Structure 1
């Protein structure tokens, strides 16, 4: 037995989540695991079959947390459990599912295989950032996907000054700037024209959002880079600027505010069933060459 205590976390806003949670809990108990259910998940789904636990309790007691939902649910759980050593498994009950990669229909079989030791481990880096106004700390947070600085309302572009390790990089006028991890490279960063970074590439990527000058291009930086971004001007933006940690927002930033971003000392551990392939996930989610040569794809049924 590799995992003695397993926590269940779900996107409790979804209807019909109670049945798969109960079924998965029964699979875990049959395998000899003690089962906890995250408190809000249990209260909102009506699943009272297992002890309710806060994220703090899960971090102290659980060896494994299974997240049933979309990538947003996984992002929230990863931030909450980042300082613990709890491994995470994602079951897709959402739409896209880059990091909740196990289909709901095959969840019971996949979890049983993982409990029996047939899994691969995948460690992901986190970012930590803070918003400073002079010497005053305005906000701080962790991000598995990205830290984003953008205009908070209608109006003109914002002007940002970017330094890396104390060295001036550039100033840019744009709708915003994305600082993404390899995990976040398939999220907003990809939509804004950034590259896909394999999870084993230890780097950050900076991606401008709708820059005024087309020569402002995405750039990949070493993972130990220390970034200082200063809001130089807000132009005609009516509502100021905002900073997002995995889409958790701090609004009403002012000219002169500084956003510091660096790699967090904490990491997130994902577990996948044995045979998991990152490239298979990309083929599935991005429909890479899906209709061209299906015989090249080992995930396709043989013709």
Structure 2
């Protein structure tokens, strides 16, 4: 019997639909696992947007349990289906009619000036932001033990391909197809002549130094959910993490189709021609 974990947004209207989903699962021959026991599930069904999917991914990371989203949020770029497909999604999950897609994650290690160390991880992005709104953080960026540039900026986003359509995209970073393993470095409002987004290999180590000349401390947000302190003088290392996140997929539509649909991109005068 397939065990389906359920994770929902916390709004009252979203929590109210959980009994209906439970009935769908049980009528299809499955059994429901509460959010507090997600690591005992065979697959996790998320009712919400990308933020709720990130919460579910946090609950099962380190296991092979896949996560699938039905979009009750806004854009829902990570979601696999819309609300009208909910019954079909449940039926297919119960008979395990899905494939699994592996997404890379990032690992971060922050060594603070007093020698203390904090670690974290992210599926979408690591966002280094200033603590004081009126000032900027002063950084030096390096890749594979070689310095690249120093500048002051409002924030710095280090993203996976999965996160390239999230915060990094809003900051002017490129969209990267999820089957490309790479790490994006996207500065926000940097005071520098050379402060363009960078795309580096998945085996690279990205170093960020919170320069002593800076006058404002930073804080590092992992997927906007988990905070690490990064005061002036901190040394930050970001690498490809060993533990990925698994997403369940029901359809084999290409990423380009998802991109066009989710961002409502205009596509005019397109003609598909068969090649000889």
TM-score between the two structures when normalised by the length of structure 2? 0.90
Give 1:251 shift. Answer: 6.6
Find the counterpart in structure 1 of residue 4 from structure 2: 6
Mapped pair 1:199 → 2:182:
no
Give 1:30 shift. Answer: 2.3
Within a 5 Å distance, the mapping from 1:70-81 to structure 2 comes to: 70-81=49-60
Note if contact 2:118-2:228 (Cα within 8 Å) is conserved in structure 1: no
Mapped pair 1:147 → 2:145:
no
CA distance in 2, matches of 1:154, 1:135: 24
Note the alpha carbon deviations across 1:178-216, whole angstroms, 9 max, x for none: 100001100110011100010000000100111112421
Q: Which of 166-175 and 62-71 deviates more? A: 166-175
Secondary structure of the 1:149 match is strand
CA distance in 2, matches of 1:177, 1:151: 10
Secondary structure of the 2:211 match is strand
Secondary structure of the 1:150 match is strand
Note if contact 1:121-1:271 (Cα within 8 Å) is conserved in structure 2: yes
Find the counterpart in structure 1 of residue 70 from structure 2: 91
Find the counterpart in structure 1 of residue 38 from structure 2: 58
CA distance in 2, matches of 1:247, 1:147: 8
Find the counterpart in structure 1 of residue 198 from structure 2: 219
CA distance in 1, matches of 2:172, 2:90: 35
CA distance in 2, matches of 1:80, 1:117: 21
Note the alpha carbon deviations across 1:240-273, whole angstroms, 9 max, x for none: 2211111135376322111111111111111121
Mapped pair 1:284 → 2:264:
no
Find the counterpart in structure 2 of residue 105 from structure 1: 84
Note if contact 2:49-2:75 (Cα within 8 Å) is conserved in structure 1: yes
Find the counterpart in structure 2 of residue 47 from structure 1: none
Find the counterpart in structure 1 of residue 188 from structure 2: 209
Within a 5 Å distance, the mapping from 1:108-257 to structure 2 comes to: 108-134=87-113, 136-233=115-212, 235-237=214-216, 240-248=217-225, 250=227, 253-257=230-234
Note the alpha carbon deviations across 1:254-294, whole angstroms, 9 max, x for none: 2211111111111111112124332222111211115x35x
Q: Which of 125-134 and 194-203 deviates more? A: 125-134
Q: CA RMSD in A?
A: 2.2
Please list every run of 5 or more consecutive structure 1 residues that lacks an aligned counterpart in the other structure.
39-53, 298-303
Give 1:122 shift. Answer: 1.5
Give 1:159 shift. Answer: 1.5
Note if contact 1:8-1:67 (Cα within 8 Å) is conserved in structure 2: yes
- Which of 25, 30, 39 is 2:27 aligned to? 30
CA distance in 1, matches of 2:254, 2:18: 26
Find the counterpart in structure 1 of residue 246 from structure 2: 269
Please list every run of 5 or more consecutive structure 2 residues that lacks an aligned counterpart in the other structure.
none
1:233–1:248 Cα change, 3 Å: farther
Secondary structure of the 1:265 match is coil
TM-score between the two structures when normalised by the length of structure 1? 0.82
